[in-house]
Amino acid sequence: MTSAIRAETRRAERRRRIERRRRRAVATVTATLSACVMIVSGALLASGATGSGGDPQAQGVGSASARGATPQTASPTPTPTPTSSPTPSESENDAEFCPGEVADAIESGDSEAVVVVAGGGEAFRDAVVSGRADGCIALDHPAWQWIVVNKRRPIQPENFAPELVEPATYSPIGAHLAPNAADALDEMTRAAQEAGVGDIGLESGYRSYEAQVEAYDAQILARGSEEAADETSARPGYSEHQLGLAADLVACEAGTCGSIYDFEGTPQQQWIAENAAEFGWIVRYTGTETGTTGYESEPWHLRFVGAELATAYVEGGYDTFEDFWGLPAAPDYD
């Protein structure tokens, strides 16, 4: 098979994967909308059956949905889900983006579904960068896959902890990730095996605030100063690992894995660089934009953002998540 045919085969498979994810996301939104309609209809029927009929204020008193308030749903994290309701201070453009399908997707708590109904990764990015999504989308909320964490954007609350699962992908330390990230990692590492590039392991996934204290202190000891440690390790409260959406990968063979520092230049690393976006991952620190991120090259450090945004990121030619969202550089701590 020629290289051109192989490339076209990979592109076709990428399109099929993205289309499957889109269908799942749309199904999530549809199910959420149907549930909301049933709740509202039930509340209206119940209030009509029990109300006196003489007081219009009695209708729907017992239902938040019937009153027009945002229904309360389980948050995907211990942090409350951002509201999808526009505020009176928003512009007309905000109001055009936030209600309707986008609001329903936000209620579902599914980040990928929100991006899909917004029109895909590039359309979602444009809405955020232009300010049209200000009424319902925040880049600093840890419940969502699009959150930006860097040296000037700490995680709030400081003790945030996501829902976690253990991926099927081999991890020397038994690392965990957020559920969507774990599923995407497993799909990606299986695809790498099928492509014949070798096994990939998960060296590090979720780290609590306390674990990041230890990791950062270890880098200070190894490098001799905070300034040197800051080039390769995040300070506690500023690490993407605390989100459960970051993965440090290693190349493995016959059940033995190298270190993260051995990853660069391996067939696994080269395959990841070319294909990670298909599975919703981006290489967060390439080393070409240290002046923006403040970090040296880390080809092993991947950040999960979802297939739609990852595809828009790669196809748009962005080198940093900061540039992707039009945010200021964050080379150092305030």
Average pLDDT for residues 37-59, to the nearest whole number? 41
pLDDT of amino acid 90 = 45
Delimiting residues of CATH 3.30.1380.10 domain(s) in the chain: 179-325
* CATH hierarchy code of domain 179-325: 3.30.1380.10
Least confident piece of the model among 62-71, 72-81, 153-162: 62-71
Query: What's the mean per-residue pLDDT of the chain?
Result: 82
Note the Cα 36 to chain centre separation in Å.
25
pLDDT tens-digit series, residues 13-47: 555 555 555 555 555 445 544 544 444 444 444 44
Measured CA to CA, the distance from residue 5 to residue 38 in angstroms comes to 49
pLDDT of amino acid 334 = 87
pLDDT tens-digit series, residues 255-304: 899 999 999 999 999 999 999 999 999 999 999 999 999 999 999 999 99
Query: Would you place residue 3 in the very low, low, confident or very high pLDDT band (cuts 50, 70, 90)?
Result: very low
Prediction pTM value: 0.77
Average pLDDT for residues 227-254, to the nearest whole number? 97
Helix (H, G, I), strand (E, B) or coil at 21: helix
pLDDT beyond 90 at 52: no
Helix (H, G, I), strand (E, B) or coil at 191: helix
pLDDT tens-digit series, residues 101-113: 999 999 999 999 9
pLDDT of amino acid 178 = 98
Query: Would you place residue 208 in the very low, low, confident or very high pLDDT band (cuts 50, 70, 90)?
Result: very high
Q: Is 158 a catalytic residue?
A: no
Measured CA to CA, the distance from residue 288 to residue 319 in angstroms comes to 7
DSSP secondary structure letters along 258-323: --GGG-TTSHHHHHHHHHGGGGTEEEEE-STTHHHH----EEEEEEE--HHHHHHHHHTT-S-HHH
DSSP 200: E
Measured CA to CA, the distance from residue 270 to residue 263 in angstroms comes to 9
Measured CA to CA, the distance from residue 325 to residue 277 in angstroms comes to 17
pLDDT of amino acid 255 = 84
Measured CA to CA, the distance from residue 242 to residue 169 in angstroms comes to 19
Catalytic residue among 90, 240, 289, 298: 298
pLDDT of amino acid 104 = 95
pLDDT beyond 50 at 185: yes
Average pLDDT for residues 132-139, to the nearest whole number? 96
pLDDT of amino acid 165 = 98
Angle 188-23-82 (CA atoms, 0-180°, nearest 5)? 85
- Residue-wise burial string across 148-174, b where 16 or more C-beta atoms lie within 10 A, e elsewhere: bbbbbbbbeeeebbbeebebebbbeee
Long-range contacts of 227-234 (CB under 8 A, 24+ apart): 230/151, 230/294, 230/332, 230/333, 231/290, 231/294, 231/295, 231/296, 232/295, 232/296, 232/298, 234/151
